[in-house]
Structure 1
């Protein structure tokens, strides 16, 4: 049980860590996604500058992020090494969400960092057949920044799902332990009554 508790901590710790990072990005994402201020360009500029600043951070930052992702995966592997039925249901679903979060991080957020920092929005080069690109052939700066902000929100929702499943597993295990204790207590009382009758 102690190994399971430590493995759960190894899952919940990185999940909360990443939720904290996403929460700190929420003020930048909010005006790009949900509000309609008079001058939206200011908020696009703020988000773009924020992303460029994060991308220019020292390499140790990305290494710490990768280590934290790895700690979460090790926690899942530890819990699923010899799984019970509860582990298969709750931890299996949590692992699927965690991997979906990693996929969103790698495909949308990391790629978004590179595109936004380079300032190359969309495919403005000639296509393979040599024709000029049309208006639908590339993604604008605003759409790229919106996709980046939406990816942060999607990742946050996925990570909240991991926490909900881990809390659900904790609740189910505590409920099962309480029911087993009640059954054991009832069995002892029944045994005691049968001895008194003899």
Structure 2
């Protein structure tokens, strides 16, 4: 359970740090028409981020490593059959590994390629075109990273729900009431020991009558002038002999 909490907390932290870049990314992705001034604002923002304190980068790397390690150990534990959800853990680890690869080989090299300090008249310099392409790539990478981190959060939520549902399903098994069942069986056996007269057996299926039943039917008075069946009369006459 604590591994799940570590993965969720670290993922939310990384998602929050990715959302902070929106102040520069919206100038590149959603502003229309895209002006050189908007591109210059994004370039200067990422130049400031790339030349920042190196300790912040190590914190970012440490949080990402903790998230990947927690997801990996949870996957190994679940693969061994020790209360784990392999589907959710494996998908989370795959997304986190993809994010790490994207950050290591796409985001960091592009971020460090932006020089600092920048020229005073950036839009008029020769490096403006490559730098504009770089901030576009960074904005796209940040969108991809945010989507994958959101997927990890949803996977962890689904894992928690699946674990809770399975634990609630393993509740105590209700044993049947043997006293009530024995009373019902005893009453059924006692009632079956005293059969009803033939005249009251309205729901008896069709079958061959016994001699006793034929005699009992033969002694019944004819109702409404309807004679008794010939088969019953023959059985009654045969049993009388």
TM range (shorter): 0.7 to 0.9
Aligned to 2:18: 22
TM-score under structure 2 length normalisation: 0.64
8 A Cα contact 2:15 2:146, kept in partner: yes
Secondary structure of 1:153 counterpart = helix
Aligned to 1:43: 38
8 A Cα contact 2:42 2:135, kept in partner: yes
Q: State the distance in 2 between where 1:14 and 1:110 align.
A: 19
Aligned to 1:172: 162
Aligned residues: 168
Secondary structure of 1:116 counterpart = coil
Aligned to 2:141: 151
8 A Cα contact 2:72 2:89, kept in partner: no
8 A Cα contact 2:27 2:42, kept in partner: no
Does residue 1:60 correspond to 2:55, yes or no? yes
Q: State the distance in 2 between where 1:53 and 1:73 align.
A: 28
Does residue 1:33 correspond to 2:23, yes or no? no
> 1:93-104 residue pairs with structure 2 within 5 A?
93-104=91-102
Q: State the distance in 2 between where 1:43 and 1:86 align.
A: 48
Does residue 1:197 correspond to 2:154, yes or no? no
Q: State the distance in 2 between where 1:52 and 1:108 align.
A: 16
Could you report, residue by residue, the CA deviation over 1:81-113 in whole angstroms, capped at 9, with x for unpaired residues?
Answer: 321485211100110000001111112110111
* More contact order relative to length (CA 8 Å, sep ≥ 6): 1
Question: Larger deviation: 24-33 or 68-77?
Answer: 68-77
Q: CA RMSD in A?
A: 2.0
> 1:134-145 residue pairs with structure 2 within 5 A?
140-145=130-135
Aligned to 2:215: none
How far 1:169 sits from its partner (Å)? 0.8
Bigger radius of gyration among the two: 2
Identify if the C-alpha distance between structure 1 residues 114 and 13 changes in structure 2 by more than 3 Å, giving closer, same or farther: same
Q: Which runs of 5+ in 2 are unaligned?
A: 118-128, 183-241
Aligned to 1:114: 112
Question: Larger deviation: 70-79 or 17-26?
Answer: 70-79
Which has the larger share of helix? 1
8 A Cα contact 1:22 1:152, kept in partner: yes
Secondary structure of 1:7 counterpart = helix
8 A Cα contact 2:10 2:63, kept in partner: yes
